Amino acid sequence: MEEKVELSRPLVVGHKRDGRSCYDREAKRELVEACLRPGISIARMALEHGVNANLLRRWIEQYREIQTPVAAAHPLPAFIPVVTTVAPEPTALALSVVFPNGVKLDLSGMDSAALPQLLTYLVRLPCSASIPG
C-alpha cells in the first residue's frame, strides 16, 4: 500500500498569463524524490498533486540527468592499449580413407590450407562405373 506523500511547501506557486502553472523548485524536487521510491506509482502521485503524469515523468528524467554523471565528464582515453597474441600453429590433418574399391587415401600430415585444392581436384576426377555396388 502506497503512503500519502505530503510536500513541505505548495507545488503550484502561481500561474503564467497563458494559464500554465508555475512550480516551486524545492516542491518539485521533493515530489520527484518521492516518486523514485520503490513501489510508488507515478500516475497516482501526479493525480494526488494535480500534475500531469507526463510532466511528472519529464521532471523525473531531468532529475536523473542532473544526478547521474554526464558521459562528457569522463571522456574515453585517446589511445587504447593493443594486445598482441601469438597465432596458433596450423594443425596437421590426420585423415585416412579406404574406398570400397580398395583405394586408400592417406592425408596424414597434410597442411590444412592445401585441403580445399586437393578436394577440388578429387571432385573433378571421372568416376569409374566398374565399381560393384
What does the pLDDT look like over 122-131, one tens digit per residue? 778 776 655 5
Q: Which helix (H) or strand (E) holds 107?
A: none
**Within the chain, what is the greatest distance between any pair of CA atoms?**
103
| Residue 93 pLDDT level (bands cut at 50, 70, 90) | low
Structure confidence by residue, pLDDT tens digits, 19-61? 999 999 999 999 999 999 988 999 999 999 999 999 999 999 9
Domain boundaries, the chain: 12-69, 91-126
Amino acid at 109: G
